Structure 1
Amino acid sequence: MKTLQDWLDFCERLHPVTIDMGLERLREVADRLALRFACPVITVAGTNGKGSTCAMLEAILLQAGYRTGVYTSPHLVHFEERCRLSGQAVSAETLAEAFATVDAARGTVSLTYFEFSTLAILWLMSRADLDAVILEVGLGGRLDAVNIVDTDCAVITSIDLDHMAILGKDRETIGREKAGIMRAGRPVVVSDPVPPQSVLEHAEAIGADLWRFGRDFNFSGDKQQWSWAGRGRRYSGMAYPALRGANQLVNASGVLAALDALRTRIPVTAQAVRNGLAMVELPGRFQIVPGQPVLVLDVAHNPHSVAALAENLDAMGFYPTTHAVFGAMADKDLQPMLQRVGPLVDRWYFTDLPLPRAASAADLQQAWQAQNTRKDVASSVHADPQAALQVAVAAADPADRIIVFGSFYTVGGVLKDGVPRLQAKHLSP
């Protein structure tokens, strides 16, 4: 294996199952790699809001002059997006070297694709002389690969129903899994306004320093600006975060609480907070691309995130016709997702996705038809997200809007050649 793609192909074949929850094999290889971090580590778990939280933490710490390492997953287009050092994605060549190092260290230990790549990225970051490390949990928390690292501050974002076959069928069970990233005596920021009781009970049971939304930190705001107050700091008159959507204030509040909790180790100024929140970027999170028609990209792929997407779409104002490109995994709870956004969509373009776990476009269309009550809505099926978007653009008028949502593969499918700049075919006279 010479290239990063060679290693990724190898990792996909290496382990008998895609998901194999458990940390014993990882810890064995991590010990051989001597994985250690001398700087503060922030670990972020939750159903929705993890990526936004990581991006805002990174942006503020970069503005404060710190060298950051960030690990997030999945990626939208290129695997290299998963690891950023001081704000820049690492090169494919650097990652290939890290994969080779892990392969040499693992011996006969079998690792999944996610475990192998996590160890490679953690090894890279452990050698990069960083001031702060930000780790996004891939799935759950307690048994996720990043949990081999003892966090200095855990952040738990919104908790809702997703990956239920693995994590459990209710919020309490799922919350218990995510609470596994907490460490005794260390801060845990819970930014979910109504967290499962299991999360609060676990924090108390292990003696974690619980920062709870509404008690230890909170925010307020009007149409122009917002303010935040925590245990030790207050910020007032702030511009809204560059990431769009009302739900981002909840995420930003958790970010500021985490930085407040770690202020003795990585202090940040009020100006770094303001600049970081104003400059943060994260593709695919209610990303609005101006044009004719306007394009909205969002990786909402479960009922909770689709509900937030629907609220944000409502707040955009009136559009004559809304076109929706949608692709999703087969294990998603499709009915509440389609019901929530259905009243806002006038034309559907269902798409296949390039992996076995995905629902087919025909299956998605059938699920939509089973719950659709509107007779004025059309739908079609397409081989890939790019083809679906092209048909939507051809059918759209300049004043319309197109939303592309669902799996990361759906949004990534339209971003693979760069951000599309749309120009409707039906221009007004």
Structure 2
Amino acid sequence: MRFTSSKSVQEYLESIPKFQSRGSSAAKFDLSRFRNFCDVIGNPHKEFDSIHVGGTNGKGSTCNILASVLQEGGYKVGVYTSPHIITFNERFRVNDDVISDEDLLVFFNTYVDNIEEYTLTYFEISTAIAFWWFARSKVDVACIEVGLGGRLDATNIIDPMVSVITSISLDHTDILGDSITDITREKAGIIKEGRPVIIGDLPKKARHEIVKIAEQKECPLFTIDDLNPKCLNPGRYGLAVNDTIMDISSNLISPIQAKNIAIVWKICSIIKEKYIITEDYFTSGLRRVNAGFGRFERLIDGQQWYFDGGHNQEAVKALKKSVNTVGNIENATLVLSLMRDKIRKEVMTEFLEFKNIYYYPLSLERAATFDDIKQWLPKAIPFPASDENRKELMQDDFDSELVIFSGSFYFYETVRDWVSTFALNQ
């Protein structure tokens, strides 16, 4: 098989089952095939330093913040995050550049037979590309986001400088287990013998479990408790550092980012013997960072319309705090789209505070239908499916209102298309 265009690569990738549409049936939790494939391509993940970032929420934001700070310090930094929101290429970044279509063609034309031989999953292919491209680009260090869980995640073949667990809450319970303790054990699978571990603000049971695992593996364990991270107001954060409050300005506006910023400061303090990040580099990196698509992102100038991918209880609570920093949730409209496996009582209850709730089902096998949602959110009404009705709603009812588009990250591209159409008609 030979690939001649980015379209042919995309068609090949689309032929492989993805977690996005199929859920757990698209996954193969066995690292031996992936390790063997990486042996064949020269184990590129051993050619650069790495920071491994896991957790339920905050992984992608933490990777992006860390990368911005390291880049500000003059280092060449790789960032691997998933899922992609618009294009496959955006999963892979070196400094400010995503992988080119030409590099993807080189990878697939070189290794497609090996991909077939080892029957790699979509995520394993994606992870292999990240390792290969970062080595090829000669990065100094890479920020690697865990895909799902940790213990059996394809990213877990790396030997990182630091392992990070940002947060833990109930999510992917069909795969990781239906208790905080079970989920913690899976996510703690990224903890390596003797390597430093950083944890964010975790539930008591999760913290207890990680303390026990870190002791067993003789790992130095660090928390962010001493930094007392605060969101002072939207775009302004405070950390308690050296008996003073470090005042940080940023494009990030969600209060939850305070904890992610604290985690990044702690990472920098641990790796400082090799990667020197001054306070000036740190604050400069925060000024230029973008948390990533769909992380309480303002969608259009002149409107209070935001997208935030919240689909578990912890994420929705964080979303509500963010909404209350820019307005009042009791006056806000929610446009929601969820996967069926994300419907849990504790999650759905969090959405009830919104004044108005619309629901839009995506065309995916995993997507929840309106009827699935209605039984949990009685005041929900269908979001218009037709272009004309949707345009009328957005122009007449949403204009100058606080509107939150949320739920699955897979909803982002659809929302972006709607907002772009709205902008063109103004």
Out of 220, 223, 240, which is 1:228 matched to?
240
Residue 4 of structure 1, CA deviation: 3.6
The corresponding residue for 1:39 is 48
Please tell me whether the aligned partners of residues 161 and 302 of structure 1 are also in contact (alpha carbons under 8 angstroms): yes
Please point out which of 330, 334, 352 is paired with 1:324: 334
- The equivalent position to 1:117 in structure 2, one of 117, 126, 132, is 126
1:365–1:380 CA contact under 8 A, matched in 2? no
Distance verdict in 2 for CA 1:167–1:387, change over 3 Å: farther
1:131-185 CA distance string (max 9 Å, x none): 1111000100010011111111111101000000000101111111111111111
Between 1:45-54 and 1:217-226, the stretch displaced more is: 217-226
Q: 2:330, 2:399 → 1: CA distance?
A: 10
Question: For residue 194 of structure 1, what is the amino acid of its counterpart?
Answer: P
Kindly indicate whether the alpha-carbon contact (under 8 Å) linking 1:246 and 1:312 is maintained by their aligned counterparts in 2.
yes
Which residue of structure 2 lines up, in the alignment, with residue 360 of structure 1? 369
Give TM-score scaled by structure 2 length.
Answer: 0.88
Q: What residue in structure 2 maps to residue 194 of structure 1?
A: 203
C-alpha displacement at 1:334, in angstroms? 4.1
Task: Give the Å deviation of 1:419.
Answer: 5.9
Partner of 2:189: 180
Q: Which amino acid aligns with 2:213?
A: H
* Match in the other structure for 1:270: 279
Q: Which amino acid aligns with 1:29?
A: F
Residues 349, 24 of structure 1: CA spacing in aligned structure 2 closer, same or farther, 3 A cutoff? same
Q: Superposition pairs for residues 185-264 of structure 1, below 5 Å? A: 185-194=194-203, 196=206, 197-214=208-225, 217-219=227-229, 222-223=232-233, 225-229=237-241, 236-264=245-273
- Tell me the percent identity: 30
User: In structure 1, which of residues 338, 342, 347 is the aligned counterpart of residue 352 of structure 2?
Assistant: 342
- The CA deviation string for residues 56-83 of structure 1, in whole angstroms up to 9 with x for no partner, is 0011011111111110000111111100
Report what 2:403 is aligned to.
402
Contact 1:12 1:112 in 2 (8 A): no
Q: Does 1:27 align with 2:53?
A: no
Cα distance 1:319–1:252, how it changes in 2: closer, same or farther (>3 A)? Answer: closer
Matching residue of 2:321: 311
Partners of 1:420 and 1:296 in 2: CA distance:
16
- 3-state DSSP class of the match of 2:326? coil
Structure 2 Cα separation of the partners of residues 207 and 69 of structure 1: 28
Match of 2:307 among 288, 297, 308: 297
CA distance in 1, matches of 2:343, 2:376: 10
- Show structure 2 runs of 5+ residues with no match: 19-24
Tell me which residue corresponds to 2:77. 68
Task: Report the counterpart of residue 8 of structure 2 in structure 1.
Answer: 6
Gaps of 5+ in 1: 370-376
In 1, Cα distance between equivalents of 2:48 and 2:26: 32
Distance 1:290 1:424, change over 3 A: same
Specify whether residues 317 and 86 from structure 1 end up closer, same or farther in structure 2 by C-alpha distance, changes over 3 A only. closer
Query: In the TM superposition, what are the counterparts of 1:404-423 in structure 2 within 5 Å?
Result: 404-416=405-417
Q: 1:345 to 1:320 in 2, by over 3 A?
A: closer
- Shift in Å at residue 240 of structure 1? 3.8
1:361/1:183 CA distance change after superposition, 3 Å? same
Match of 1:373 in 2: none
Task: Report the TM-score, using the length of structure 1 for normalisation.
Answer: 0.88
2:382 is the counterpart of 1:380: yes
Task: Say if 1:393 and 1:381 are closer, same or farther in 2 by CA, change over 3 A.
Answer: closer
Determine the C-alpha separation between the residues in 2 that align with 1:422 and 1:336. 36
Equivalent AA in structure 1 for residue 58 of structure 2: G
User: Cα RMSD (Å) of the superposition?
Assistant: 2.7
Question: Which range moves more in the overlay, 117-126 or 18-27?
Answer: 117-126
Q: Deviations over 1:109-129 (max 9, x none)?
A: 111111112112211112211
Mark the CA change 1:310 to 1:412 in structure 2 (over 3 Å): closer, same or farther: same
How far residue 345 of structure 1 moved from its aligned partner, in angstroms, is: 2.8
Residue equivalent to 1:374: none
SS of 2:117 mapped into structure 1: coil
Matched, 1:88 2:92: no
* Whole-angstrom distance in 1 between the partners of 2:297 and 2:97: 20
Are the equivalent residues in 1 in contact too, given 2:330–2:354 (CA < 8 A)?
A: no
Structure 1 residues 228 and 98: CA distance shift in structure 2, 3 A: farther
Separation in 1, partners of 2:397, 2:123: 39
Q: Report which stretch shifted further, 44-53 or 123-132.
A: 123-132
Match of 2:26 in 1: 18
Counterpart of 2:341 in 1: which secondary structure? coil
Superposition deviation, residue 237 in structure 1: 3.3
1:300-329 alpha-carbon deviations (Å, 9 max, x no partner): 111110111112212323489522211111
Give the whole-Å Cα distance in 2 for the aligned partners of 1:388 and 1:299. 25
Q: Corresponding residue for 1:168? A: 177
2:171 and 2:312 in contact (8 A); partners too:
yes
The alpha carbon displacement at 1:103 in A equals 1.8
Name 2:343's counterpart in structure 1: 333
Taking the aligned partners of 1:106 and 1:289, their CA distance within structure 2 comes to: 38
The AA in structure 1 aligned to 2:203 is: V
